[in-house]
A and B are shown apart, each in its own frame.
Chain A
Amino acid sequence: SQQGEEDPQALSIQEGENATMNCSYKTSINNLQWYRQNSGRGLVHLILIRSNEREKHSGRLRVTLDTSKKSSSLLITASRAADTASYFCATDANTGNQFYFGTGTSLTVIP
């Protein structure tokens, strides 16, 4: 399956620390996206990185993509309690019309 796999499944850190989560996938992609989901809510798009890009920044977020290793990482710097949520990566395949979501990383930021 193309499905991305996030690692770790759960992460607990103190406010102010950095949080890093990883996503691995299996087949070639056009782009990879990261989404955030607060408990019981819809997903919110964070960042999209294309296969020809290696790094992208958005505010406190930094995403890297290594297509040779078929992996991506999401770094959240100077975390806040409000960052507590689940984070999902979504990958597409070069063929087909859909995205594949991983099972997510549950991040808890302790005030």
Chain B
Amino acid sequence: DGGITQSPKYLFRKEGQNVTLSCEQNLNHDAMYWYRQDPGQGLRLIYYSQIVNDFQKGDIAEGYSVSREKKESFPLTVTSAQQNPTAFYLCASSIWRKETQYFGPGTRLLVL
């Protein structure tokens, strides 16, 4: 069953803590993306990766970090430097850049 998965569904972060959101795809897609969505808003790009071991900053990369060690995986770390991390985080993948994106179900991050 092909698709893109994200875990966990809900994540709670304590002040000063780094947390990592998981994103895995078995679609054999080269490109992967992380977006942030705030209530009633559109999606804003955090980071994207076109190939393994390469990634680029999006519009709101400050306070976030990523890695792309495997084609299937693109984890996002929300660092303590991100002052306002409460949001809905969406991961997506596509065969190549600028083509149809397939989205995971999202992770909702809340601050304790």
Measured CB to CB, the residues of A under 8 A from B are 3, 30-31, 33, 35, 40-45, 48, 88, 90, 92, 97-99, 101-104
Residues of A within 8 A of B41 (CB): 103
Complex A-B: 22 CB contacts under 8 Å: A31-B98, A35-B101, A35-B103, A40-B106, A41-B106, A42-B90, A42-B103, A42-B104, A42-B105, A43-B90, A43-B92, A45-B101, A45-B102, A97-B56, A97-B97, A98-B58, A98-B97, A99-B98, A99-B101, A101-B43, A102-B42, A103-B42
Residue ID in chain B nearest A1 by CB atoms: B59
Residues of A within 8 A of B106 (CB): 40-42
Residue ID in chain B nearest A33 by CB atoms: B100
Complex Cα spacing A108 to B5, Å: 28
Residues of A within 8 A of B108 (CB): 40
Residues of A within 8 A of B44 (CB): 101
Are B100 and A45 touching (Cβ within 8 A)? yes
Interface residues of B in 1-52 (CB under 8 A from A): 6, 33, 35, 40-45, 48, 50
Main secondary structure of the interface of B (DSSP, over half): strand
Residues of A within 8 A of B88 (CB): 40
Interface residues of B in 70-112 (CB under 8 A from A): 88, 90, 92, 97-106, 108
Q: What is the size category of the interface that chain B forms with chain A?
A: 20 to 34
Interface residues of B in 56-73 (CB under 8 A from A): 56, 58
Complex Cα spacing A98 to B98, Å: 7
Given A43-B103, A45-B100; 20 other pairs, CB 8 A cutoff: A30-B98, A31-B98, A35-B103, A40-B106, A41-B105, A42-B103, A42-B104, A42-B105, A42-B106, A43-B43, A43-B90, A43-B101, A45-B101, A88-B43, A97-B48, A98-B97, A101-B43, A102-B42, A103-B40, A104-B42
Contact of A44 among B33, B40, B58, B103 (CB under 8 A): B103
Q: How far is the CB of B40 from chain A (nearest CB, A)?
A: 7
